[in-house]
Amino acid sequence: MQFIKAAVIGMGVLILIGLGLLVYGFATQLGKQADGVPARYDRSHDLPADASVLTTHIDGGRLIIETRSEGAGRVYYLYDLETGAALGRLDIAPSDVR
């Protein structure tokens, strides 16, 4: 009878160790993408008070954000999705705005 109690306790400990390893594995993989690059970066960009985001596009590892404001017309912002770096800005305004 004591052998059965020891076996049950031993298996319970093994189950707890296994669950702990599973939780650790999930926690370490959550912060990474498949290629090992951190899954997120922090980037903020201030828009003028009268500006609004019209569309966003993802193309070839780049994020394009199209905005519109009364003072500047349409402005396109280009970001690299892997690094978060700002790659450029394109202003398209009617001739009477400039």
pLDDT score for 19: 94
The pLDDT of residue 18 is 94
Q: Contact at 8 Å (CB) between 17 and 24?
A: no
| DSSP secondary structure, 6-21, as one string | HHHHHHHHHHHHHHHH
Q: Is the confidence at residue 26, as pLDDT, over 90?
A: no
CA angle 32, 33, 35 (to 5 degrees): 110
Distance CA 31, CA 59 (A): 24
pLDDT in tens, 27-76: 777 666 555 555 566 667 788 788 889 999 998 889 999 999 887 788 89
User: Are 72 and 48 within 8 A, CB to CB?
Assistant: yes
Extents of the domains making up the chain: 1-39, 41-98
